[in-house]
Structure 1
Amino acid sequence: MNPATLTAQPFWEDATFWREHVNSYRELRPGQRTQVWIGGPTMPTPTLLLETDGILLEAPNWSPDGGFLYVNGHGTLWTIDLDTADLREVHFDRLPEINNDHVLSPAGTSIYMSATDGQIYKGALSGGPVERITVNDGVWHFLHGVSPDGGELAWVEMSDFSEPGRLVIGSSSAGGNSRTIDTGRGHLDGPEWSPDGTWIYFNTESFTSRAGHAQVARISTQGGPAELLVKSDSVDWFPHLSPDGRFATYISFPSGTLGHPADLDVRVNVVSTDDWPTPIESYALFGGQGTINVNSWSPGSDRFAFVAYPLHGVQE
């Protein structure tokens, strides 16, 4: 979902912020660049795929055929060729501007996208017509997960931002049924299925009394108590499991961060799902919002993509 702001109040209560930011796309600051990187469990040093000062790109998805990344920028969807780093826009008909919440269908033919009107849309990866999936007006739907069988979506639902977000599981077909899963009293984000379909992984503030102190957790798809996976002094967001279920990534913000704002010194961590507290690799970069909002693992589970936004030169 879109960035949070550093305020004394819980970030999800800042209605002015939401009104100003969920309806517009982000742009690079003067002197800032977008860098798309490739890392992995056996890559101490990531590889730079693309660098540009022309457009702010966010939130990579890796295509099922392994040949492309899908990212958002300037309110639209783009592809990045993994061989040539060529950047191409995907054109949709009558699609509102999209944000950095988009996931590919397991079949590899469609993409689900959260738009700035608060709704979720489905379109072909090649572009063209879109279908609106969610039906409730006046409610924000921030998409993050699709079930392994493709039948359901997981999103964070918010109305007037006076309460923390709710985890909702809904049909991936237009107008289908939905249900809410209780994850505790705190705000949550990034709900995403495990590859075997039995768990929803997410970040939550329910395990602490410290304002904004998100930590990585999971809950059964059938509900029940949430399980804390990483207890740390950093603010941890967006857990993403590799397709084989062996590895995961998540992003760590500095202690005291509220939400997941842009332009901070952060770390992207790679862990074994058998040992979440111990990073296998950890990449320091300047970024945050847009770096790794959605699952960006390759089909082979050996690599993943992430984005940095350095203000001067290449961010090593």
Structure 2
Amino acid sequence: MRSSVEIHNIVTGTTRIVWQTEQLVEAPNFSRDGRFLVINGDGLLYRLSLDGSAPERIDTGFAIRCNNDHGLSPDGHLLVISDKVEFGKSAIYVLPIKGGVPRLLTPKLPSYWHGWSPDGQTLAYCGIRDDVFDIYTIPVSAGEERRLTFGEGRNDGPDYSADGEWIYFNSSRTGRMQIWRVRPDGSEPTRITDSPYGDWFPHPSPDGKHLLVLSYDGDVFDHPRDLDVRLRIMDMDGGNARILFELFGGQGTMNVPNWSPDGNEFAFVRYAPA
């Protein structure tokens, strides 16, 4: 499988290729200064410069089975990862962006990170408890997790709005997977999309203007890879939704926050048979 790491500019409508490889890489995050991306591949994390040079491995200590649920803190100093080498199930850790020893945050497993609050104090993630997928938050300083959804369908992919007032997520509570949002205290669950697609991985832009969504065909329930999908953009309340473009992708294309700091661009991975 060939992976093409690319950046799309929503102002100009253009897309540029940053790096291509015959290996499977996934889920690019922009650094807070906009100078590099963080990607994962083969259970490891890499720093990918935007100048086209080869990626450099980030030292994640014992965590060598990282999945595609990773990202950077608002101040750019910390990296959050989801890794299963220690317990055999995905757990969430934080470590310095330059590398170091991961610190465990979620003893309850499995847990898959997806969002960091704008004030840097709280993480949002999907937790599977007794085979039920729900949205949780937990303080970065460590503490008890807080459950925000309660088994109404499958709930996944939480990400914070730029002002921290909402957590967006995808849910199958009405049948087809659609985008919802909820307050950080779990109140006011509100449906955002009512589309013919299976909508996943909502990512609010840093300027608070746009919501980016990965959309499968309507009969696809989960988020598999190797399918024709579309990236859609809309207002924060779901209005003015439109397709930016279609691509071969799915799992790994944009599982986690992928906007540039100025909100003009986003990174993603396009796949093709090698």
| Superposed pair shares fold, TM > 0.5 | yes
| Cα distance, 1:111–1:151 mapped onto 2, change above 3 Å | same
Identical counterparts, % of pairs: 37
Equivalent-residue separation in structure 1 for 2:155 and 2:9 (angstroms): 26
Name the counterpart of 2:168.
201
Kindly state the Cα deviation for residue 148 of structure 1 after the two structures are TM-superposed: 1.0
Matched, 1:244 2:207: yes
Matched, 1:52 2:14: no
Name the counterpart of 2:10.
41
Q: Would the aligned equivalents of 2:193 and 2:238 in 1 still touch at CA under 8 Å?
A: no
Name the counterpart of 1:185.
152
The amino acid of 1:173's aligned partner reads S
**Equivalent of 1:294, from 243, 256, 260?**
256
Equivalent-residue separation in structure 2 for 1:111 and 1:88 (angstroms): 15
Q: Would the aligned equivalents of 1:267 and 1:284 in 2 still touch at CA under 8 Å?
A: yes
The Cα offsets for residues 175-200 of structure 1, whole Å up to 9 and x where unpaired, read as x1221112661111111111111100
Q: 5 Å matches for 1:157-172?
A: 157-161=127-131, 163=132, 165-172=133-140
Q: Would the aligned equivalents of 1:246 and 1:274 in 2 still touch at CA under 8 Å?
A: no
| Cα distance, 1:275–1:120 mapped onto 2, change above 3 Å | closer
Instruction: State the Cα RMSD in Å.
Output: 1.6
The Cα offsets for residues 37-91 of structure 1, whole Å up to 9 and x where unpaired, read as 11132243421111111x2110111000110000111001001101234311112
Equivalent-residue separation in structure 2 for 1:293 and 1:120 (angstroms): 15
Name the counterpart of 1:283.
245
**Equivalent of 2:39, from 67, 71, 92?**
71
Equivalent-residue separation in structure 2 for 1:194 and 1:142 (angstroms): 19
Figure out how many residues of one structure are paired with residues of the other and give that number.
270
* Segments ≥4 residues shifted beyond 3 Å: 274-277
Kindly state the Cα deviation for residue 311 of structure 1 after the two structures are TM-superposed: 1.5
| Cα distance, 1:151–1:215 mapped onto 2, change above 3 Å | same
| Cα distance, 1:160–1:183 mapped onto 2, change above 3 Å | closer
Equivalent-residue separation in structure 2 for 1:278 and 1:145 (angstroms): 22
Equivalent-residue separation in structure 2 for 1:214 and 1:128 (angstroms): 37
Name the counterpart of 2:78.
110
Kindly state the Cα deviation for residue 228 of structure 1 after the two structures are TM-superposed: 1.2
Equivalent-residue separation in structure 2 for 1:191 and 1:310 (angstroms): 28
Equivalent-residue separation in structure 2 for 1:52 and 1:160 (angstroms): 38
Secondary structure of residue in 2 paired with 1:98: coil
The amino acid of 2:187's aligned partner reads G
Name the counterpart of 2:235.
272
Unaligned runs of 5+ in 1: 1-31
Equivalent-residue separation in structure 1 for 2:170 and 2:218 (angstroms): 15
Which deviates further from its counterpart, 286-295 or 33-42?
A: 33-42
Equivalent-residue separation in structure 2 for 1:158 and 1:184 (angstroms): 10
Q: Would the aligned equivalents of 2:192 and 2:237 in 1 still touch at CA under 8 Å?
A: no
**Equivalent of 1:150, from 120, 132, 145?**
120
The Cα offsets for residues 232-254 of structure 1, whole Å up to 9 and x where unpaired, read as 11100001011111112110001
Matched, 1:140 2:110: yes
The Cα offsets for residues 228-279 of structure 1, whole Å up to 9 and x where unpaired, read as 1111111000010111111121100011102100100001112233653522
**Equivalent of 2:198, from 235, 238, 252?**
235
Unaligned runs of 5+ in 2: none
Name the counterpart of 2:269.
307
TM-score, normalised to structure 2, is: 0.93
